[in-house]
């Protein structure tokens, strides 16, 4: 096989059977160590690698991402997990290294969306990470290196077909990138804008206090947005994405989607969820689906009957009042938007999900209304002046 071209399993769909990736000049910056990737696999791989590489550079912490359909379902850095999150993320039975912890955070943000994900790691994959990945449903991984024993563990996944890619961490792409759509070539200079704490210098609200933890979370959210299909809004807390609203045509729908995911992330930490007793042998994806159903309102009778096959005892109902009371405890959440907020309704919705810190490009004719809304809720909002559309 030539080092500047790889034949792919297929393109976006199986009937698009003639697919390849290649470099017009020089070798490809990655090597396939195991498995045969498809077109979408490599789109996820290259986008997710950029995210974790940039996140590691910005925060000097190991970083991981869980990608689905060219957008992050979650991203996180290797901060320690408390006992509650270990339980919520189903990792309380395994010893985690910092890079494995980063992936546990990335996977834990939205476990339903992460089912069958693509994984990206900023650091060498160790045995701890490989053991964690071995038991998750995942399509493949990209990283700058692998411990030999970790690689052997990963090669056993998916009956030996788990896609494992090693990328050159020192690779620097050309300044310009091109793509073809309908036989027409598009060209632009690559989005190499470096996201640092400088984007938070222009705080325009009465509350101007953005503590270091919020700076970290705003950077996590913003770097994740840079590699999320637009329109997009991202919520982050404690060094990880907790809700991403990707690919919506309306800004308010981005915000509603991101906030609803963040709400469920926090509701999964409620004692009623933590105390659930599943039947012995129930698989992890089934547990995740059961919890997701439990957090939904107005379950059908048939859905409740299915629970009898999942739980030792059927959980008590989770009332709307109980949920709202619990959600009021969620606070100090960071929110980033890839473009300006056209109306204050985005801020109103974000306030109900504990958002305290915001960064957004600004530039809307309704900026004054948006700023007033942030002031109403005592939020600190920075105007970055940088739009981060990604298509």
68 annotated active-site: yes
Q: Per-residue pLDDT for 1 more than 60? A: no
Residues 263 and 275 in one domain: no
- HEC profile for the chain? CCCCEEECCCCCCCCCCCCEEECCCCCCCEEEEECCCCHHHHHHHHHHHHHHHHHHHHHCCCEEEEEECCEEEEEEECCCCCHHHHHHCCCCCCCCCHHHHHHHHHHHCCCCCCCCEEEEECCCECHHHHHHHHCCCEEEEEECCECHHHHHHHCCHHHHCCEEEEECCCCCCCCEEEEEECCEEEEEECCCCCCCHHHHCCECCCCCCCCHHHHHHHHHHHHHHHCCCCCEEEEEECCEEEEEEECCCCHHHHHHHHHHHHHHHHHCCCHHHHCCCECCCCCHHHHHHHHHHHHCCCCCHHHHHHHCCCECCCCCCCCHHHHHHHHCCCCCEEEEECCCCCCCHHHHHHHCCCEEEEEECCCCCCHHHHHHHHHHCCCEEEECCCCCCCC
What is the CATH classification number for the domain harbouring 24? 3.40.140.20
Q: Exactly one of 56, 68, 131, 256 is catalytic; which is it?
A: 68
Residues 18 and 138 in one domain: yes
pLDDT digits 0-9 by tens, 215-260: 999 999 999 999 999 999 999 999 999 999 999 999 999 999 999 9
Selected residue with higher pLDDT from 2 and 311 = 311
Flag whether 181 is in a domain. no
Flag whether 188 is in a domain. no
279 annotated active-site: no
Residues 262 and 307 in one domain: no
Flag whether 136 is in a domain. yes
Residues 295 and 281 in one domain: yes
Average pLDDT, the chain: 94
24 annotated active-site: no
Q: Exactly one of 9, 69, 134, 155 is catalytic; which is it?
A: 69
Q: Is the pTM of this model over 0.75?
A: yes
Flag whether 182 is in a domain. no
Residues 262 and 275 in one domain: no
Residues 16 and 157 in one domain: yes
Residues 288 and 360 in one domain: no
Residues 208 and 346 in one domain: yes
Flag whether 184 is in a domain. no
Residues 138 and 263 in one domain: no
Domain holding 294, by residue range, is 271-317
- Which range has the worst mean pLDDT, 271-280, 324-333, 339-348? 271-280
Give the chain's domain count: 3
Q: Exactly one of 15, 24, 320, 391 is catalytic; which is it?
A: 391
Q: Exactly one of 231, 264, 323, 390 is catalytic; which is it?
A: 231
231 annotated active-site: yes
pLDDT digits 0-9 by tens, 187-205: 999 999 999 999 999 999 9
């Amino acid at each position: 096989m030539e080092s500047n071209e790889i034949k792919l399993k297929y393109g976006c769909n199986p009937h698009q059977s003639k697919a390849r990736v290649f470099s017009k000049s020089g070798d490809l910056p990655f090597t396939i160590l195991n498995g045969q990737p498809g077109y979408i696999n490599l789109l996820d791989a290259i986008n997710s690698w950029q995210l974790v590489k940039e996140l590691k550079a910005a925060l000097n912490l190991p970083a991981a991402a869980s990608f689905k359909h060219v957008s992050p379902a979650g991203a996180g850095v290797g901060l320690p997990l408390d006992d509650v999150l270990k339980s919520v993320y189903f990792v309380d039975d395994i010893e985690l290294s910092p890079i494995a912890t980063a992936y546990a955070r990335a996977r834990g943000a939205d476990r339903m969306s992460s089912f069958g994900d693509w994984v990206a790691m900023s650091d060498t994959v160790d045995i701890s990470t490989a053991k964690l990945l071995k038991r998750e449903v995942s399509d493949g991984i990209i990283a700058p290196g692998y411990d030999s024993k970790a690689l052997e563990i990963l090669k056993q996944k998916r009956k030996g077909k788990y896609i494992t890619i090693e990328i050159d961490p020192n690779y620097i792409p050309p300044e310009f990138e091109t793509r073809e759509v309908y036989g027409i070539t598009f060209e632009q200079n690559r989005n190499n804008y470096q996201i640092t704490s400088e984007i938070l210098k222009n705080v325009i609200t009465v509350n101007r206090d953005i503590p270091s933890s919020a700076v970290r979370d705003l950077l996590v959210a913003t770097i994740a947005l840079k590699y999320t299909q637009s329109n997009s809004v991202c919520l982050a807390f404690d060094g990880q994405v907790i809700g991403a609203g990707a690919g919506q045509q309306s800004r308010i729908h981005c915000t509603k989607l991101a906030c609803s995911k963040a709400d469920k992330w926090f509701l999964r930490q409620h004692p009623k969820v933590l105390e659930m007793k599943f039947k012995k042998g129930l698989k992890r994806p089934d547990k995740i689906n059961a919890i997701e159903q439990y957090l939904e309102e107005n379950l059908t009778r048939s859905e409740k009957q299915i629970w009898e096959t999942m739980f030792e005892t059927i959980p008590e109902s989770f009332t709307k009042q109980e949920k709202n009371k619990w959600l009021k405890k969620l606070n100090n959440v960071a929110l980033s938007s890839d473009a300006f907020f056209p109306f204050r309704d985005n801020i109103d919705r974000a306030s109900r999900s504990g958002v305290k810190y915001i960064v957004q490009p600004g530039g809307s004719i309704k900026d004054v209304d948006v700023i007033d809304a942030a002031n109403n809720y005592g939020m600190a909002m920075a105007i970055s002046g940088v739009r981060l559309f990604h298509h």
